[in-house]
Structure 1
Amino acid sequence: MYTYNSFEIAGVFTLLRPIFVTFIVANFFLLLIITVPQLKIKAESLSVIGLSIVSVIASSQLLYYDAIIVDELGLGGDEMTTYMFLIILIFSIINPIIFFLLSKKGKIIS
């Protein structure tokens, strides 16, 4: 039915999964930057909060549009994208908390 077979796997629309994975990887790298002592100097509060907010907003819109596409195509919903969104949400909440806890202790020079 589609040009590429990778859009659908077992009746589930999977085209947007790589974008969710990209957000997860970006949030994980942000967590590493916050926690690794050599990279802490490069992290600023505005960038940590901004990247966390942008990733939550963009991934929630992506999840919403994924649901619309799935509904219009008559395919089954993808549980994996919902779980990936929840992982992004958890990373985006934890990253600023860890950043401010470490900076409160005086371990981050900004």
Structure 2
Amino acid sequence: MESTTIVTHFRPIYTLFILILMITLFIMIFRNRHKVINGFTIAIITLTSLAVSAHLTFQIGYLADELGTGGDTVSFNMFIAVVILSLVNPLVYAYKRDSFY
């Protein structure tokens, strides 16, 4: 079934965004005195990952509708993980810095 494998080709992109967001979260939590990440970096990473992931989720829905198949629950769960990590990262940064900028 080639129609179902088309949707699974989007999963590595979701995985990449989840890894990037987790790495930035760990850097913010475990950093010492070095300023590696600032508020602008967090905002750009968050907005980019959210925008691209939302577009991919929309495209998966569009492909599922056109091909007559069901949606991909794994990709949707990965999108939810991206959204949660994208919300947690600015909150952790604001908590650690007491201000966003």
Question: TM-score range, shorter-chain basis?
Answer: 0.7 to 0.9
Gaps of 5+ in 1: none
Equivalences for 1:37-56 in 2 at 5 Å?
A: 37-38=31-32, 41-56=35-50
Number of corresponding residues = 100
Greater relative CO, 1 or 2 (CA 8 Å, sep 6+): 2
Structure 1 residue corresponding to 2:28, chosen from 31, 34, 53:
34
Structure 1 residue ranges, 4+ long, deviating more than 3 angstroms after superposition: none
Q: Which amino acid aligns with 1:102?
A: K
What displacement does 1:38 show?
A: 3.9
Are residue 71 (structure 1) and residue 65 (structure 2) matched? yes
Gaps of 5+ in 2: none
| Aligned equivalents of 1:40, 1:18: Cα separation in 2 | 31
Report the RMSD for the aligned CA atoms in angstroms: 2.4
Shift in alpha-carbon separation, 1:48–1:57, aligned structure 2, 3 A: same
| Aligned equivalents of 2:68, 2:32: Cα separation in 1 | 50
TM-score by length of 1: 0.80
| Aligned equivalents of 1:75, 1:85: Cα separation in 2 | 19
> Greater CA radius of gyration, 1 or 2?
1
- Percentage identity across paired residues of the two chains: 25
Shift in alpha-carbon separation, 1:77–1:40, aligned structure 2, 3 A: farther
What displacement does 1:6 show?
A: 7.9
Q: Judging by fraction of residues, say which structure has more helix.
A: 2
Shift in alpha-carbon separation, 1:6–1:65, aligned structure 2, 3 A: closer
What displacement does 1:33 show?
A: 1.3
Q: Is residue 63–residue 85 contact of structure 1 (8 Å, CA) maintained in 2? A: yes
